[in-house]
Amino acid sequence: MEMPEFLETDPPSDCPCDDCARGRLADRWARTAPPAPVPVPWRPAVPTVAVTVLGTAVGTGAAHAAAAPEAAAPATARTGTASAPAAHTPMRLTRAQIIERASRWTDAAVPYSMSRTWSDGYRQDCSGFVSMAWGLGSNEWTGSLDEYAVRIAREDLRPGDMLLHHDPANPRDGSHVTLFGGWTDPSRSWYVAYEAARPHARKQATPYAYWDDSGKYLPYRYKHVVEEGAQERPPDTGSSSGADGPPDGDGPSYEGSPYDGGSSYGGGSSYGGAFPGAGSFGPGRHGDHVLLLGERLVHRGFAAHYRQGPSRTWSEADRRNVAAFQRAQGWSGPDADGFPGPETWRRLFP
């Protein structure tokens, strides 16, 4: 049966909806990639095109990766509809829209993969994640993302900017990229990173610029970001210093940062709620309250013993960071044993 033709009105080339973004991605693939033998339907009543995506890999701990152009992943196919292919145009997005798009993957815990694509058509690795958040309409890699950005200074970083480490000599095993989500502490030594890494996309407090190879990461700003005029608020100069040096009062609240008052990261004065009980913390304990404690310690500047950031499972790093906070209150002995009690909780969440 012959397929009927339909007259369509093309939307604007930079339309931010998911369908249009997938269409732009399919059009770009159709122009730049060789055909694959088995197409996978995406939208009805359309000719089929096929693509081969570049593979990347991200490790944990000491090694994260992004693939060189020579490292091709298994072919993936998409189809698109249009009376004529629309020109590839990266999306113009506000910072809030970039973070919202990144949050779709972190909220869904999109599994990491260097060869698979998510339902929006973007590859499920670190550079595919940034390509998606920025709405590039193509799956870039760490060696090409800088073409869509401009270098900035560390002090100019704002939510939606990028921290990029690309190693031309070893791009597959030595490269990684994250999205900057806002500073977490007054010294601006920790920030919220949005990233695709094993086992899945995540958002977590991270030391600047990263857990390893920190000096090799460079800050960039998306060329097509739409600035809304919001400026970061200055640090709270009313906080004092504790015995160990980190700030004893609340840290600053930065506009656009997940650590704003009332956020899920405990920036607000009442977020901690009632003390969950001493039995909630210690070896073998697990739950949201453990993660909340760790994130609050990061926010207050007591995170020196974390190597991979706080988690929902109690660790020795949690105990040592709590002990540092307790010593900063002037406590010692059993009062600074690293296990939170009601007064430690009250001072962490004043």
pLDDT tens, 71-99?
Answer: 333 333 333 322 232 336 899 999 999 99
Kindly report the pTM of this predicted structure. Answer: 0.50
Torsions phi, psi of 310, nearest 5?
Answer: -70, 160
283 residue type, one letter: P
Contact 146, 166 (CB under 8 A): yes
| Tens-digit pLDDT profile for residues 109-145 | 999 999 999 999 999 999 999 999 999 999 999 999 9
In this prediction, residue 23 has a pLDDT band, given cuts at 50, 70 and 90, of: low
Cβ contacts of 212-217, under 8 Å, gap ≥ 24: 212/61, 212/62, 213/165, 213/174, 213/176, 216/165, 216/167, 217/163, 217/164, 217/165, 217/178
At 152-186, the pLDDT tens digits run: 999 999 999 999 999 988 877 789 999 999 988 88
Interval 215-226: pLDDT, tens: 999 999 999 999
Residue 210 has pLDDT above 90, yes or no: yes
